Structure formats: C-alpha cells, structure tokens
C-alpha cells in the first residue's frame, strides 16, 4: 500500500455530480477526498459530453447560418474546414473548464486522488492508481461514478470506423456517409455537427419519432428541416447487423429502410449504462437494480445509510444539471443539513438546429396519466425576432391547469429554445399562473416574448392565433 487516507466525506467520481458534491461539502466545513480514475476532473460532461459537443455545435451553427444568409443577399465562400484547428479550439474550451476545476478543488482544500476506486467495506475504498493501491477510510461517501455509452450486441468491437459519442467528438475525419444509430439527443446533436461539416447523414431510430421523450409537435419542425438535408431518416427501424469490409455494410429491419446499405462510419448512440459494475458495491452493502442503477431515497441515500449516490448512476434523466443539483443535496445531507430532492421539474434540451426543449408536464405524459390540461401554442411565424433571424419555424407551447391557470409544463422548439426554457422552469418552480407570465413585461423584440404570448393566448387576450 502506498497511501492511507482518512476523510470525513469521500466522493467517488469527479463529473458534474461529484465535483459539485465535493465543493459543497468542503464549503460546509467537511474534509473531502475526491477520487477520479481519469487524469482530468469534469467527468463526461466537461471532457466528452456537454461542453465539447456544444463547441462543435457552435461551429455547425456558424456554417448553417452563413449558408442560410446566401439566399438573402449575404453570400460567403464555402467554409474552409481545418479539422485540426477546430479540434484544438474545442480542446482548449474543455481545458479551460477542467483546469478551473483543479483550481477550485485546491482552493477548497479538497484532496484529489487519481485512480479507480472500489469499495472494500461500508467505510473503506481501495484506489488503484499509478503508484499502487491506496486505502481511503471515510465516514460518509457520495458515489458519483456516472455512466458510459451503451452498445448493441452485434456491434463489432475494435472497429475504428464504429464510434461512440466519445469517438465522434474527436472528429478524426469527416466521413462521406455517416450512419447514426439512435435518434435521441446525443445522436441528433452529433448528426448536426457532422452534417454541417459535410457528411451525408442517415439516422435510424427504433421508435416512431426522433427524441422519443418529447411531444411530437415539438419534434416536427426539427424533423422537417433535417429530412430535407440529411440522406435519410428511418423510424421504427432497427439495425440488425454490421459487416466490416472496405465499407461498413449495415442491415436494417423496418419501415421504409433498405435491407442493406453502405456507410463509411457508424455512430452508436443508443443510450448510456451506469458505471456501477466495477465499484464492488456488495462490499458496501449496496445492490444496484437490474439496469445497474443505484436505488436512492429523496435524500440521495442508498440502502447503506452513510453512503449516497447521485447523477447518471442513479438514473434518468441522465443530465448534468440533475447531477449537480443532486450532488449539492447529498453533500448538504451528509453535512447534517435538512435537505432533500424537491425539484418540481428538470428541463431537457436537444441542442439540435432548431433546438428542442421541454420542462414539466408533456402532452404525452398528461394523456398517459389522465391529467387535465389546457394548452396555448404560440407560432414563431408571428414573432418579429424569429422572422428577423430568418428562422420562424419555431413554436412555444405551454400547458396550464384548467382549474388554477397555473403553468404545468412548457415545450419550445426553435433557435435558443434551450436558453428560453429556463424561464418556464422558474415559472413552474414559482407556481406562476398564466396572468403572472402574461403580465410580466418581456423585452422586445426577443424570442422570450413568445412565452408571454402563449400565456396571453391562454388568458384570452390574444385569440386570433389560436
Ligand atoms: P460523469 O460525468 O459520468 O462522471 C463520472 C466520473 O466518475 C467520471 O469522470 C469517471 O471517470 C469517474 N469514475 C467512474 N468510475 C470510477 C471509479 N471506479 N473510480 C474513480 N473514478 C470513477 N447533459 C446535459 O445536461 N447537457 C448536455 O448538453 C449534455 N450533452 C451531452 C453530450 C454527450 C455527447 C454526452 C455523452 C452526454 C451529455 N450530457 C449532457 C450528459 C452529461 O454528460 C451527464 O449527465 C453528466 O456528465 C453526468 O454527471 P455525473 O457526475 O453523474 O457522471
């Protein structure tokens, strides 16, 4: 053994959940040790998730916007894409953030230990690092070990032309023909990037719509736009086999798809699996469920009372802002504060073009659960700002409680929907009703007005658009 550490709070995994928990616990006066197997802090989100994808999506947007303006009298030459420079810019964005985390950890005297951790008991963790194995004895632990890309049984291993999201973010090259398996948020975001860079993109999704968690009317404008631009989109279709040869030969089974087609690269984006398998959780008295998720209560406590779990490893939605929120709560509970998970809603965003964002009750969910609602939809064709951006295909839809007029949910599709959904999230948390929203003066001309307009429509002030 190289090292023995005693700590009040051990945090396993330094993604958004883990670093948020570690920092909050340290701010509350606890001694904190943060264990991370990767040399970098920040987890999936900062290194191979949210942040690098958004840097590349920004590049994609610049290309798309420039092309769109050509029709309106502002033409540019075709983009000159220097992949190496684009990659290093993306990496510099990531490094600023991960380096910042190191500094924040140091400032708070959070001890960072690099190595893969596994439990040796309910108060002890073994960490296999470069210099050997260290033992960490802790009073309380917060498991934040996150998730990894899921795969499919027939996917050939060690085939460099078959990528997961991490491989896709490396943009090693721009394949001529790219197949994206999975029409969820991650698959569609990477499709957006590769399409803008010049790939012919095909998407295959087993469900009957893209982004299956969102209402169909929200996804429709996105579907319409990419259908015109992408090589093909196959819904209710499965990939059943991939054969590797000079190209990748892919077999499909489903509606509208050919039996067989050729691709240069394939991105597998079919969901994420929790990283619970390697943690030796049994030693800590914790049994993950059949999907590998760790069951927790509203205080994020596992079956072992001094151990908490947060973020992707406890389940859906696998989103960074959920992990951060849970991390803070677990740290507060561990530090003896009265805290519990009490968020009414967690927003979801697909940073596609157009963006699709939703929060709270969806119509799908309301119908499935028999929840009464009334809706107001404001089409962006009537928004001055949307028209002046040359993007009027968007829509803001708000669901209200017919009895109390309170907002229950909101869905937005269009440019910057991801930023716009924050206001609806706050409105739901505050218990706002239609008048609260409609009577709030919104800056003109902005897309944020569409949220107020939808509330006015519900309230009856605007009727001609319904
Ligand atoms: P993770 O970020 O997975 O971090 C877990 C950490 O634990 C990792 O650093 C891992 O190395 C470490 N670890 C695991 N096992 C061990 C061990 N045994 N010992 C030591 N360390 C260990 N979410 C959003 O909200 N917005 C987005 O725009 C968004 N975009 C995404 C884009 C992509 C391409 C992907 C893949 C994901 C995206 N996500 C996004 C999801 C987001 O990245 C995750 O929800 C978030 O990172 C989960 O945080 P976490 O702290 O639970 O775990």
Catalytic annotation, pick one of 195, 325, 442, 444 = 444
pLDDT value at 464 more than 90: no
Q: Kindly report the protein residue whose alpha carbon is nearest to atom 45 of ligand 1.
A: 319
* Statement: residue 461 has pLDDT above 90: no
Q: Is the pLDDT of residue 1 over 60?
A: no
In this predicted structure, the answer to whether residue 255 has a pLDDT above a threshold of 90 is no
At residue 110, φ and ψ (nearest 5 deg) are -80, 125
Whether 442 is catalytic = no
**ipTM, 2 decimals?**
0.99
Q: Are strands 307-309 and 248-254 parallel, antiparallel or unpaired?
A: unpaired
Q: What is the pLDDT of residues 316-367, one digit of tens each?
A: 999 999 999 999 999 999 999 999 999 999 999 999 999 999 999 999 999 9
Q: 3-state DSSP call for residue 452?
A: helix
Q: Which residue has the tokens 């089409």?
A: 379
Write down the pTM of the prediction.
0.97
Residue nearest atom 15 of ligand 1, based on CA coordinates: 145
**Cα–ligand 1 centroid distance for 165 (angstroms):** 12
Q: What are phi and psi of 4, to 5 degrees?
A: -125, 130
- The percentage of residues in the chain with a pLDDT greater than 90, rounded to a whole number, is 96
Ligand 1 in reach of 276 Cβ (< 6 A): no
Cβ–Cβ under 8 Å, residues 221 and 377? no
- Summarised one tens digit per residue, pLDDT across range 112-154 is 999 999 999 999 999 998 889 999 999 999 999 999 999 999 9
136 backbone dihedrals φ, ψ, rounded to 5°: -115, 120
User: 45: Cβ below 6 Å to ligand 1?
Assistant: yes
pLDDT bracket for residue 466 (50, 70, 90): very low
The neighbouring-strand residues paired with 376 are 398
In this structure, what DSSP letter does residue 268 have?
E
401-430: per-residue pLDDT in tens? 999 999 999 999 999 999 999 999 999 999
For residue range 335-345, list pLDDT tens digits in order: 999 999 999 99
The CA–CA distances, whole Å, from 160 to 87, 99, 228 equal 18, 30, 29
pLDDT of 197-246, one tens digit each? 999 999 999 999 999 999 999 999 999 999 999 999 999 999 999 999 99
CA 74 – ligand 1 centroid, Å: 41
| Mean pLDDT over each residue of the chain, to the nearest integer | 96
Model pLDDT for residues 61-112, shown as the tens digit of each residue: 999 999 999 999 999 999 999 999 999 999 999 999 999 999 999 999 999 9
User: What does the pLDDT read at residue 69?
Assistant: 93
């Amino acid at each position: 053994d190289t090292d023995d550490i005693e700590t009040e709070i051990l945090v396993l995994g330094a993604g958004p959940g883990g670093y948020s928990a570690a920092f909050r616990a340290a701010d509350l006066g606890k001694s904190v040790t943060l264990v991370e197997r990767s040399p970098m802090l920040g987890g999936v989100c900062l290194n191979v998730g949210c942040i690098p994808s958004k840097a590349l999506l920004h590049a994609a947007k610049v290309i798309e916007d420039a092309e769109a303006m050509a029709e309106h009298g502002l033409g540019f030459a075709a983009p000159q894409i220097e992949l190496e420079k684009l990659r290093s810019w993306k990496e510099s964005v990531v490094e600023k953030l991960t380096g910042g985390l190191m500094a924040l950890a140091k400032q708070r005297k959070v001890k960072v230990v690099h190595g893969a951790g596994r439990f040796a008991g309910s108060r002890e963790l073994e960490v296999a690092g470069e210099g050997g194995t260290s033992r960490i004895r802790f009073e309380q632990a917060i498991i934040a070990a996150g998730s990894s890309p899921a795969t499919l049984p027939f996917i050939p291993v060690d085939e460099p032309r078959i990528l997961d999201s991490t491989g896709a973010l490396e943009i090693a090259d721009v394949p001529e023909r790219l197949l994206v398996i999975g029409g969820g948020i991650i698959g569609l975001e990477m499709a957006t990037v590769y399409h803008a860079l010049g790939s012919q993109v095909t998407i295959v999704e087993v469900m009957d719509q893209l982004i299956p968690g969102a209402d169909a009317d929200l996804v429709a404008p996105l579907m319409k736009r990419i259908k015109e631009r992408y090589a093909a989109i196959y819904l209710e279709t499965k990939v059943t086999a991939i054969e590797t040869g000079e190209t990748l030969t892919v077999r499909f089974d489903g509606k509208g798809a050919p039996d067989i087609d050729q691709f240069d690269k394939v991105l597998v984006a079919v969901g994420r699996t929790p990283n619970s398998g390697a943690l030796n959780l049994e030693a800590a008295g914790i049994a993950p469920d059949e999907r590998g998720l760790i069951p927790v209560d509203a205080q994020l406590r596992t079956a072992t009372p001094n151990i908490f779990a947060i973020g992707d490893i406890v389940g859906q939605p696998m989103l960074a802002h959920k992990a951060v929120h849970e991390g803070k709560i677990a740290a507060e509970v561990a530090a003896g504060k009265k805290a519990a998970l009490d968020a009414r809603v967690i927003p979801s965003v697909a940073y596609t073009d157009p963006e699709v964002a939703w929060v709270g009750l969806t119509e799908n969910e309301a119908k499935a659960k028999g929840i009464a609602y009334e809706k107001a939809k404001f089409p962006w064709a009537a928004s001055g700002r949307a028209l002046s951006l040359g993007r009027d295909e968007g829509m803001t839809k708000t669901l209200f409680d017919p009895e109390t007029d309170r907002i229950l949910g909101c869905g937005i599709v269009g440019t910057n929907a991801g930023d716009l959904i924050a206001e609806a999230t706050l409105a739901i948390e505050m218990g706002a009703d239609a008048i609260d929203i409609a009577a709030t003066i919104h800056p003109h001309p902005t897309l944020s007005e569409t949220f107020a307009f939808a509330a006015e429509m519900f309230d009856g002030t605007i009727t001609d658009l319904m």
